[in-house]
């Protein structure tokens, strides 16, 4: 034996502020759970009590939920513009988009209970399908808004998507681009 110690193993240390293992996965699981909860709630909530039976409550809930989602989206957009490092706009914006899709879906489903508002929309899945098709600007034509209220909500969805969801998606891509650009800079500074 020569008395020499073996060289220490050189393992990469996690960067400051970077999570590893379970700490990195847990927030994603929580957020995925929230997204699943939104979808499950959409299919389980008693939406049949809304619509023509309670029109005032239906419209107030619709306006209130869309306003809350819009304010939260604007807040996330502001965080991106101010370059707040402690914010997580990617996940939050995605969840808010999922929530807004389900708010419109629930509204279409409730409106479809009123005769003459929609043709081809009978189930919650139909309403979700119509919302996504409208959001994607595909418009297959198998479900059509016939009544004035259904057309109004469809126009609101298009405007809402154009203003809020486009701004949110733009902010999200800006944040992702900045992260990609900064990552090589961080590596060079070491």
Rounded CA-CA distance 179/175 in Å is 6
DSSP 3-state of 72: helix
pLDDT number for residue 17: 53
Which CATH number is 125's domain given? 1.10.287.70
In a domain, 14, yes or no: no
More confident residue, 42 or 19: 42
How does DSSP classify residue 21?
A: T
Query: What is the domain range of residue 98?
Result: 47-183
In a domain, 93, yes or no: yes
What is the tens place of the pLDDT at every residue in 94-143?
A: 888 889 999 999 999 999 999 999 999 999 999 999 999 999 888 888 99
In a domain, 143, yes or no: yes
What is the tens place of the pLDDT at every residue in 12-24?
A: 544 555 556 777 6
Q: Under 8 Å CB-to-CB from 21, ≥6 apart: which residues?
A: none
Query: For 10-24, 63-77, 162-176, which range has the lowest pLDDT when averaged over its residues?
Result: 10-24
In a domain, 19, yes or no: no
In a domain, 94, yes or no: yes
């Amino acid at each position: 034996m020569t008395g020499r110690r073996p060289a220490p193993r050189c393992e990469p240390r996690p960067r400051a502020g970077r999570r590893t293992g379970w700490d990195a996965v847990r927030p994603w699981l929580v957020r995925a759970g929230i997204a699943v909860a939104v979808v499950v709630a959409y299919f389980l909530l008693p939406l049949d009590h809304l619509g023509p039976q309670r029109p005032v409550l239906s419209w107030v809930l619709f306006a209130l939920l869309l306003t809350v989602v819009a304010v939260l989206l604007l807040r996330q957009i502001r965080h991106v513009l101010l370059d707040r490092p402690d914010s997580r706009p990617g996940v939050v914006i995605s969840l808010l988009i999922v929530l807004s899709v389900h708010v419109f879906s629930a509204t279409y489903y409730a409106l479809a209970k009123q005769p003459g508002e929609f043709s081809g929309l009978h189930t919650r899945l139909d309403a979700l399908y119509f919302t996504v098709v409208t959001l994607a600007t595909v418009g297959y034509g198998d479900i059509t808004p016939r009544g004035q209220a259904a057309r109004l909500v469809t126009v609101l969805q298009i405007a809402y998507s154009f203003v809020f969801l486009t701004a949110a998606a733009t902010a999200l891509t800006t944040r992702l681009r900045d992260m990609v650009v900064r990552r090589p800079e961080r590596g060079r500074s070491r």
